[in-house]
Structure 1
Amino acid sequence: MKTPATAHREIPAATASGAAVSDPALGLLPAWKLSDLYPARDSTAFTADVEKAEKLSLAFEAKWKGKLAEAAAKTGAGGIGEALKEYEALDDLLGKLGSFAGLTYFSDTSNPANGKFYGDVQAKLTDLSSHLLFFALELNRVDDRDMDACMDRDPAAGHYRPWIVDLRKDKPFQLEDKLEQLFLEKSMTSAAAFNRLFDETMAELRFEVDGKKQPLEITLNMLQEPQPEVRAKAAAALSKTFGENLRVFTLITNTLAKDKEISDRWRGFEDIADSRHLANRVERDVVDALAAAVKDAYPRLSHRYYAMKAKWLGMEQLNFWDRNAPLPETPTALIPWSDARETVLSAYGNFAPEMAEIAGRFFDEEWIDAPVRPGKAPGAFAHPVVPSAHPYVLVNYMGKPRDVMTLAHELGHGVHQVLAGGQGALMCQTPLTLAETASVFGEMLTFRALLEKTKDKRERKAMLAQKVEDMINTVVRQIAFYQFERKVHTARKEGELTAGQIGELWLSVQGESLGPAIRISEGYETWWTYIPHFIHSPFYVYAYAFGDCLVNSLYAVYGQAAPGFQQKYFELLKAGGTKHHSELLKPFGLDATDPSFWSKGLSMIESLIDELEALDRA
């Protein structure tokens, strides 16, 4: 359901402002400055905006509650357009406050002061949002004909037509006002609380390798080391620590699955993933077709590739910890940060100078946090914040080729967020299915630029293999994750699940998707525990496969030198959440509802595997 922003805007892990880090091998690694939002959590500016948000929220409720049907009959002053403009300004303000609190908290979740700040701000935003909750609910009770007439008659209201039309899709699942308020306020002590427990638990975990205790990100990175014994030790450390914390992760998973089942049941969703499909504005049969196409392609993609890789590494079967091991041909030299920057911006610039100019601002204006450091969140993300501010990008840069691809990916998100920001706070947010478009496209541009420069056969093989692995991780692995979530949420309806039962479900989908060339041995049954998407955004994961296959098809159109492609591509990004995927893809001659659409996207992965096989024979 659409609620006022801002209380529960999904905020990924992040770090606070900090000094850049000079690394002997990587050069100067930048840290971002959150002071672009507020100078500090105890600053006068932050306190003043909290007070302003409270005053405006109460005034908005007093002015508009119970009066929207009457407002729909007016044009100009006192009309729906005026109400929406005020609501959007509030959404932006609350989103800015919530983003700053979240980014500060996730800089170090073990810091009690950060935890208190985040908790207090979230509680305050939830309270303020309860005064705004009426707006979407009451707006949806305005008669359809009256609302259509209002948007046709009043340009101010008509400006928000995409948001209003989108909102009304939630109408069948909307509850009575008091129940909606209860759901909103109780979320702080239900889903949000268990999300926080997961984050704090994960941040505290340490994995011991050769007597040294280290955080998750560094340990996961060891799975990409060339020495087999290093990968084996890292896997053992991961399995041991995950196993020691199974009780809390099992509790979190059971609680959140039950919480979702209760919400879905009250709202009347038929399928366990329907609420996510609704949020993504994508039809269930489109997602089902994607999942079926990927599953059908397992033998041609992951099964085939991992069998080839086992042969290259001189093994009958890969251990599960060898899945992302580098090939012997992979260059071992670390890539300095300055080279990574040049590589990505050059690839972006060759496609469209405007794209490189926007991405360059992330470097020049300190919107990126790059170093690995204790307490920093693992992984990578781009967080849009709000249109009145700017996005932030986080990476954990260690100088490997994959880190360059990750930088290209997240900067693609950042460019998308900057361009979509022109739609305003209510309409800038892109559904998850399209949110991966710019990121995967940016990654593909960078990969193709690097591949074109690589003439050495061995290096080319290593690059192709790494790209195939990344695509398998994005498509095959994420659909396997989606199937795992479906099994967990379905089984949870019959009662609480033990850690062993969840582990069995995990192994069943992993074995099916990875294939016979990978040996799944003891210890891997606990690796479901660290995937944050299962906790923060149930059924989010299929969006990665959707985005990858979509971009593969888009890139094929680009490769055919289609006239006006760049302009159409920028229009797609600028649209934000104002258009359905069918409308956005039509200018490119693509249709995600066509069953053959997914086959086209998957065929690009298959063609790269064919190229690898040909290189191997040559």
Structure 2
Amino acid sequence: MKPLMPRVARSLPTARDAARSTALSTASGLATGSSELPHWDLSDLYPGQESEELRRDLDEAEAAAQAFAGHYAGKLAGLDGAALAGAIAEYERIDELLGRPASYAGLTFAGNSDDPAIGRFYQSINERVTAIATHLIFFTLELNQLDDDALARLLQDADLVRWQPFLRDLRVFRPHQLSEEVERVLHEKSVTGAGAWSRLFDETMASLRVELDGQSLTVGDALNKLSDRDRPTRERAAKAIGETFGRNVRLFSLITNTLAKDKEIGDGLRKYPRPGSARNRGNMVEDEVVDALVVAVTSDYGRLSHRYYAMKARWLGLEKLEHWDRNAPLPADDDRAVSWDDARTHVLGAYRGFAPELGEIGQRFFDHPWIDAPPRPGKSSGAFAHPTVPAAHPYILMNYHGRTRDVMTLAHELGHGIHQVLAADQGYLMSSTPLTLAETASVFGEMLTFRALLDAETDPKRRRRMLAGKVEDMLNTVVRQVAFYRFEILLHDERRTGELLPERIGELWRQVQTESLGPAFNFTPDYDVFWAYVPHFVHSPFYVYAYAFGDCLVNALYGVFADGHPGFQQKYVEMLRAGGTRRHKELLAPFGLNASDPAFWRKGLDVISGFIDELEQD
């Protein structure tokens, strides 16, 4: 969604790297130890696609949006502080009223994008919401037209002070806003522009089937085979996936080229200096801070990923790793199947042990049908937590296969969900955090769960395997995601000179993978099309560095916790509760941390390097 548009269509968070990773009749089984994987029940949003409640909300939002425009358009400059505060409150009410059907449609589609009727419903809701939101476009534009001195005087009114964070963040985009007429056209055409290409990607990816060993697998299930213990199985899976993507690479290339060009046009109109700048503004982080992170990680490829994967090759008895060996289980690693009940116990125990309040909030997701866990055809791959609206509650989607990594994914997404519950008190406009901070609670939850499992393990060999698994997850989160970010930069920069052929996109992909993973790997030609499955490139350009930002931030934050920082838990919960009302400098200051300091990133990367040091000593 464009930053100057109403926030009614907050998109679903895209799935994590896939290598990580219909209503219930009753909810009671989820809390009583049933081994059956839970399905979510979206009726807390609406009873059904044809429900009277859904129709009523859309009709009410349309009438309210029209009345709002009639009352306020062209008149904001003449309002006093109290009146402007009232206008923002009404804007938020309408925005949230639209956000509920948008969330419902998006979650329904994520649960089964194979069903044409669901696809039609999803598109219809998007079109209706977009049309209604058009009446609201003037509001943020006029707010940004207010003179700085005039706004400062208005902010002396106590009623308006509450909205200061909203106004502060809105004005970040002031230099990039266009005329109301142009903004309206871009908004209305979004459903037939970038939104339509994103839907085409989702439906295509959901419908693909990978033929492997006599089975017809979804892409998610096939990717899961890349973690199989049997190396020939991994190789066959990798080649089958490559063949499937290769048959469709022209379509994926067209989608990628079109979206990159669409972004270039939008960035040019808004005068963003470079392709990633719009994302950085949305994350409320300076381009230079992101540059410092990327330089720190890329400079450390040698002591991190190159060093670790050279060890892994030795452990596996291989002179060279192939790309399908990256997530191979280590020798003697049984990766024992973990039941859903055990996963729930491990994760909730870790959260409760850190702060009982977080454990209590996390328990709600299991006591109620707020999680959709079973893999199935047509369902989105990977995992996400979606906050919906403050008047309801978040939902979690994941694909649980019973592996240790799935336990970590549950811990990750539950961290998001807990964060979203805590921040909901800030209201619809100020509950969402920038992506860089949104990953804090999720990655911290993973770390808590990992540490709890590691501390409980008494077998030295299994502890070592767990440590190696954690290193791999951290490399996937930091090194791999920064490599993804580098791939996007190269692709978008080159797209400015003309359309890229599929072969050229594959060359860029192989370049960043070779740089990041190092000389321990050999890359076969079939890997050149593996860029096609990463949904972030389609839905959320330049999103991916937020994972590395969050992981390094959490490493530094966890170090402060481990050192016994006084009142850490209370400060941490308050940080989550703040939602989007504070910037990263304000949030980290109570812990003595500063993300603008280059040494900050080094501190986070040192944690990963320290784990690798420990593995080398065994």
TM over 0.5: yes
Contact in 2 for aligned 1:370/1:394 (Cα 8 Å): yes
Residue aligned with 2:301, SS: helix
**2:406 match:** 403
**2:606 match:** 603
**1:102 match:** 106
Q: How does 1:185-334 map to 2 (within 5 A)?
A: 185-334=188-337
Contact in 1 for aligned 2:7/2:429 (Cα 8 Å): no
Cα 1:371/1:277, change in 2 over 3 Å = same
Which among 389, 407, 414 is matched to residue 386 of structure 1? 389
Q: Distance in 2 between matches of 1:443 and 1:393?
A: 15
Residue aligned with 2:282, SS: helix
Which among 151, 161, 164 is matched to residue 161 of structure 1? 164
Q: How does 1:37-186 map to 2 (within 5 A)?
A: 37-71=45-79, 74-76=80-82, 79-153=83-157, 155-186=158-189
Deviates more, 1:3-12 or 1:481-490: 3-12
Q: CA deviation at 1:359?
A: 0.5
Q: Distance in 2 between matches of 1:161 and 1:140?
A: 13
Cα 1:235/1:75, change in 2 over 3 Å = closer
Q: Distance in 2 between matches of 1:587 and 1:89?
A: 33
Q: CA deviation at 1:61?
A: 0.7
Contact in 2 for aligned 1:413/1:438 (Cα 8 Å): yes
Q: Distance in 2 between matches of 1:544 and 1:182?
A: 33
Residue aligned with 2:155, SS: helix
Deviations 1:80-106 (Å, cap 9, x if unpaired)?
010011011111111111000111122
Deviates more, 1:4-13 or 1:507-516: 4-13
**2:438 match:** 435
**1:415 match:** 418
**2:23 match:** 17
Q: Distance in 2 between matches of 1:379 and 1:604?
A: 26
Deviations 1:163-201 (Å, cap 9, x if unpaired)?
001111111001011001011111111100100000000
Q: CA deviation at 1:329?
A: 2.8
Contact in 1 for aligned 2:14/2:540 (Cα 8 Å): no
- RMSD value over aligned CA atoms? 1.6
Deviates more, 1:5-14 or 1:214-223: 5-14
Deviates more, 1:105-114 or 1:125-134: 105-114
Deviations 1:484-517 (Å, cap 9, x if unpaired)?
0000000000000000000000000000000001
Deviations 1:84-143 (Å, cap 9, x if unpaired)?
110111111111110001111222222121111111111111111110000000111112
AA partner of residue 535 (structure 1): V
**1:370 match:** 373
Q: CA deviation at 1:10?
A: 1.2
Contact in 1 for aligned 2:4/2:177 (Cα 8 Å): no
Q: CA deviation at 1:13?
A: 6.8
Deviates more, 1:106-115 or 1:167-176: 106-115
Deviations 1:277-324 (Å, cap 9, x if unpaired)?
101000011000000000010000000000000000111111110100
Contact in 1 for aligned 2:313/2:320 (Cα 8 Å): yes
Q: CA deviation at 1:331?
A: 2.5
Contact in 2 for aligned 1:393/1:410 (Cα 8 Å): yes
| Runs of 4+ residues over 4 Å off in structure 1 | 18-23
Q: How does 1:27-42 map to 2 (within 5 A)?
A: 27-42=35-50
Query: Is 1:344 the counterpart of 2:328 in the alignment?
Result: no
Deviates more, 1:524-533 or 1:215-224: 215-224
Contact in 2 for aligned 1:5/1:95 (Cα 8 Å): no
Q: Distance in 2 between matches of 1:55 and 1:179?
A: 24
Q: Distance in 2 between matches of 1:89 and 1:540?
A: 28
Deviates more, 1:326-335 or 1:362-371: 326-335
Q: CA deviation at 1:3?
A: 3.8
Deviates more, 1:528-537 or 1:331-340: 331-340
Deviations 1:364-407 (Å, cap 9, x if unpaired)?
01111111122211101100111111000111111110000000
Unmatched tracts of structure 2, length 5 or more: 16-21
Cα 1:476/1:251, change in 2 over 3 Å = same
AA partner of residue 307 (structure 1): A
Residue aligned with 2:385, SS: strand
When normalised by structure 2's length, the TM-score is: 0.96
Q: Distance in 1 between matches of 2:363 and 2:486?
A: 38
AA partner of residue 535 (structure 2): P
Q: Distance in 1 between matches of 2:120 and 2:7?
A: 19
Unmatched tracts of structure 1, length 5 or more: none
Q: Tell me the matched-pair count.
A: 608
Q: Distance in 1 between matches of 2:48 and 2:7?
A: 20
**2:19 match:** none
Contact in 2 for aligned 1:6/1:98 (Cα 8 Å): no
Q: CA deviation at 1:455?
A: 1.5
Q: CA deviation at 1:4?
A: 4.3
**1:355 match:** 358
Contact in 1 for aligned 2:9/2:99 (Cα 8 Å): no
Q: Distance in 2 between matches of 1:82 and 1:7?
A: 19
Structure with the bigger RCO (C-alpha within 8 Å, sep 6+) is 2
Cα 1:35/1:336, change in 2 over 3 Å = same
Q: Distance in 2 between matches of 1:591 and 1:427?
A: 23
Query: Is 1:480 the counterpart of 2:480 in the alignment?
Result: no
AA partner of residue 91 (structure 2): Y
Contact in 2 for aligned 1:219/1:234 (Cα 8 Å): yes
**1:577 match:** 580
Q: Distance in 1 between matches of 2:156 and 2:415?
A: 36
Deviates more, 1:94-103 or 1:437-446: 94-103
Q: Distance in 1 between matches of 2:205 and 2:447?
A: 31
Q: CA deviation at 1:217?
A: 1.2
Residue aligned with 1:27, SS: coil
Q: CA deviation at 1:245?
A: 0.3
Q: Distance in 1 between matches of 2:593 and 2:587?
A: 9
Q: CA deviation at 1:538?
A: 0.3
Q: Distance in 2 between matches of 1:345 and 1:11?
A: 24
Contact in 2 for aligned 1:286/1:592 (Cα 8 Å): yes
When normalised by structure 1's length, the TM-score is: 0.96
Q: CA deviation at 1:276?
A: 0.6
Contact in 1 for aligned 2:242/2:527 (Cα 8 Å): yes
Contact in 2 for aligned 1:329/1:458 (Cα 8 Å): no
Contact in 1 for aligned 2:45/2:392 (Cα 8 Å): yes
AA partner of residue 53 (structure 1): A
Residue aligned with 1:382, SS: strand
Identity %: 54
Deviations 1:447-473 (Å, cap 9, x if unpaired)?
000000111121111101110000000
Q: Distance in 2 between matches of 1:421 and 1:348?
A: 19
